[in-house]
Amino acid sequence: MPSLGTWVIEYYQTAAGSVPVAEFIDGLAPQAKAKFLRSLELLEQYGLLLREPWVRSIQDISKLRELRFISFGDIYRFFFFPVAGRKLILLHGFKKKTQQTPRRELQTAEARMKDYMQRQGGKP
């Protein structure tokens, strides 16, 4: 897979200044954190060219994608979306416990994406 240069990855920050994705990552077991960091490296290198099994588009929400990995049988998902300037915004991470992605996890990511875009002046 050809690389077109690196992408910048930013973590979503709330208006109050908290960074929910970083807080979630801090709570991961060391093995899961290592898998996340490797997945993040791939995302930085390949950006939107990275496909399954690492990245999948979310069909219901056009810009939203999920970074995926498994660590010791546990399934993790991190929702993100692209913005101008080869930048990817990581919105929300969670440990997947069911076959289907829980709707509330998608709603959290979608709400954060809308909040980010509103606070950036609507620039995707």
Residue 123, pLDDT score: 53
How far apart (Å, rounded) are the C-alpha atoms in residues 22 and 47? 20
Residue 124 lies in a domain: no
Yes or no: say if 71 and 32 are a contact pair by the CB < 8 Å rule. yes
CATH at residue 12: 3.30.2310
**What is the residue-averaged pLDDT of the chain?**
90
Q: Which residue has the tokens 């969670």?
A: 94
The fraction of the chain above a pLDDT of 90, given in percent, is: 78
> What SS3 class is residue 8?
strand
Residue 1 lies in a domain: no
Residue 16 lies in a domain: yes
Residue 3 lies in a domain: no
Q: Which of 4-13, 26-35, 80-89 has the lowest mean pLDDT?
A: 4-13
**Average pLDDT rounded to a whole number, residues 24-50:** 95
How far apart (Å, rounded) are the C-alpha atoms in residues 24 and 114? 20
pTM given for the model: 0.90
pLDDT, tens digit (0-9, with 9 covering 90-100), for 65-119 = 999 999 999 999 999 999 988 999 999 999 998 888 889 999 999 999 999 999 9
Q: pLDDT band for position 120 (50/70/90)?
A: confident
Judged on CB neighbours under 10 Å (0-12, 13-18, 19+), 21 is buried
Domain that holds residue 26: 8-119
How far apart (Å, rounded) are the C-alpha atoms in residues 49 and 53? 12
**Dihedrals φ, ψ of 59, to 5°?**
-65, -40
Residue 1, pLDDT score: 47
Residue 65, pLDDT score: 96
Residue 76 lies in a domain: yes
Residue 56 lies in a domain: yes
- How many domains are there within the chain? 1
DSSP string computed for 9-29: EEE---TTS--HHHHHHHTS-
